Structure 1
Amino acid sequence: MCDNPHQIGTGWKGWCALPSSQPAVPTGPWRDLTYPLGHAVPRASVFPQPVFRRIKSLPDDPLNVTEMQMVVHVGTHVDAPRHFFVDGPAFHEIALDRLCGPGVVLRIDRGAGEAITVEDLQPFDVEVRSGDIVAIDTGWSQYAGTPQYHDHPYLAPDAARWLVDHGVKLAAFDVPTPDLPVSRRPDHYDWPAHHVLLSHGVLVSENVCGLTGLAGQRLEFAFVALNIEESDGAPARVMARPVQA
């Protein structure tokens, strides 16, 4: 099911080459595509709820200090290849030019447990360029904070390969994972979308929001993720703004 013929945890194929790019000319303001971090931030159901607590508080203390404890894959975040490949780069090894740059939002309506296929992506052949960041808007962010959010559309393995073949450098999703919803997974499920994308150096961002209305235009994205040493992922502030085509 996955594009990884090696033993579990290996199979990193290297970064794809990025084309040279020209500075973008913005035509509109930045839009925040990030869920605020808090106790109820959207996350995959297999991960624990994050914990935030105030360890110093005014006026009893001279300052306010907040402590947080959380998995790096909750809320809006970016996966490093190390998430599934011990021979792949960790987050501190990801160059900045793979976390920002031009791209597009693709609006693809799918229901609970329905696959996004190559046929769904093919109409966007002209829009998606080599080196792009591609965000897929299924409309599923409207269900964030409800049980329905966890029974979402997913990316078929051949559609993940389509993104690789089109030279995409980062794929973002408005669902907890581009793979099959947890409740629908068979035994020994192997996360094929993650394996195809990350093994070829296509970064994955999950729990993105605010994509409505951005389809059909060129955009500049910034995935401002924490530079966590040896980490398999990182929370991110994600932004996009329209630019000249």
Structure 2
Amino acid sequence: MRIANKMYKMLRSVVIAVFSVILISNAIHALDLEVFDLTHAQDGDAIAWPIYPQYNFTILQRGLTEDGYWLEYNAFEMAEHSGTHMDAPCHFGEGGLRVHQIPLEKLVGPGVIINVKSKVENNNDYRLALSDIQDWENKYNIIPDGAIVFMNAGWSQKYPNKTLVFGSDDHMDPTTFHFPGWHEDTVDWLLKNRNIHVIGGDTPSFDYGLSTTYPVHKLLGANNIPGMENVANLDSIPESGSIIYVAAFKIYDGSGSPSRVFATVSGATNNWSSKCLIILMGIFYCRSY
């Protein structure tokens, strides 16, 4: 009986130690985050569709006050749909959600980056196809629930050169624009078969440049899905494994919003101090029983 008791205590100690190490490891791993900025700066070079007013920034105070302390404040004016920005569903969907009505939990989700850079090298008019989605899922598994799905066409590197971004020398005539986007059949399939929070990419529109009817905008609007345009730095994050956040201004009644988009990736660093702590905690628990 004593031997059985002793064996039981030893086994319990080992189990407790193992589970403690796992819990501590997971906790440290969760805090071991690297953060990536996916946003172009809002300034006078911010890309906006030709019909929208351009960005305007006015310095109202920058210097010492009469009382001798430093003070800065400014005013800015811009279109909702400027630079890195979100399209609210109401933008192309009558009765769709406006910016302030979009639930915050719908603006965060697992990052899914569909890399089509090789497809657009010789075809600025490329539209992301269902085969691109299938290729991603064959490589990384099924798109997770609540995903934020971005097309990476390598367009961020062209920004803010309007000739390169719009694919045209005439920045005021959208009928001359040539840049990649999403195919409406692909988006339709995603909306029917996957649980998606946000769809977008690094080009000025998620409809391709030659579109005149904007079917992808209409699909997202009808299904109350926000869209993102002019996302930056998609090469900086993995195609799978990030969490993406769309920090849009909460503009009351807005049809869109400039946004600070960023991603976190866990376990991005090789933290030897964390590993040592895990080992020490394991030894402590083993000796405690």
Fold agreement, TM-score > 0.5: yes
Contact 2:39 2:260 in 1 (8 A): yes
- Who is 1:25 aligned against? 30
Question: In structure 1, what residue type is equivalent to 2:48?
Answer: R
Mean alpha-carbon deviation: is it higher for 32-41 or for 102-111?
102-111
Gaps of 5+ in 1: 1-22
**Corresponding residue for 1:234?**
257
State the TM-score, normalized to the length of structure 1: 0.81
Contact 2:128/2:151, CA 8 A, preserved across alignment: no
The answer for the alignment partner of 1:134 in structure 2 is: 149
Tell me the secondary structure at the aligned position of residue 72 of structure 1.
coil
Counterpart check, 1:53 vs 2:58: yes
Residues 20-54 of structure 1, C-alpha deviations (whole Å, 9 max, x = no match): xxx99365311000011111123334433211111
Q: Which residue of 2 aligns with 1:144?
A: 159
Deviation readout 1:80-103 (Å, 9 max, x if unpaired) = 111112311111111110011223
How far 1:127 sits from its partner (Å)?
Answer: 4.2
Q: Does 1:106 align with 2:114?
A: yes
Unaligned runs of 5+ in 2: 1-26, 168-178, 268-289
Q: Specify which of 75, 85, 98 is matched with residue 83 of structure 2.
A: 75
Q: Which amino acid aligns with 1:155?
A: W
The DSSP-based 3-state class of the residue aligned with 1:122 is helix
Q: Which amino acid aligns with 1:180?
A: Y
Identity of aligned residues (%): 26
Counterpart of 2:243 (choices 215, 220, 224) is 220
Question: Paired residue for 1:159?
Answer: 186
Query: Alpha-carbon deviations, 1:107-146, whole Å to 9, x = none?
Result: 1122311221112222123241222111211111111122
Distance 1:172 1:192 in 2: 14
Aligned to 1:17: none
Q: Distance in 2 between matches of 1:149 and 1:236?
A: 19
SS of 2:252's equivalent in the other structure is coil
Partners of 1:124 and 1:200 in 2: how far apart? 23
- Per-residue CA deviation, residues 140-173 of structure 1 (Å, 9 max, x unaligned), is 1111122021131111110111321222110131
Alpha-carbon distance in 1 for matches of 2:132, 2:240: 18
Match of residue 173 from structure 1: 201
Shift >6 Å, 4+ stretches: none
User: 3-state SS of the aligned residue for 1:92?
Assistant: helix
TM-score under structure 2 length normalisation: 0.69
Question: Is the partner of 1:97 in helix, strand or coil?
Answer: helix
The alignment yields a C-alpha RMSD, in angstroms, of 2.1
Moved more, 53-62 or 130-139: 53-62
Which structure has the highest helix share of the two? 2
1:133 partner amino acid: I
1:148 is matched by which residue type in structure 2? L
Whichever residue aligns with residue 104 of structure 2, its letter is L
Segment drifting more, 159-168 vs 90-99: 159-168
Structure showing greater radius of gyration is: 2
Query: What is the one-letter code of the residue matched to 1:56?
Result: Q
After superposition, the Cα gap between the structure-2 partners of 1:54 and 1:193, relative to the gap in structure 1 and judged at 3 Å, is same
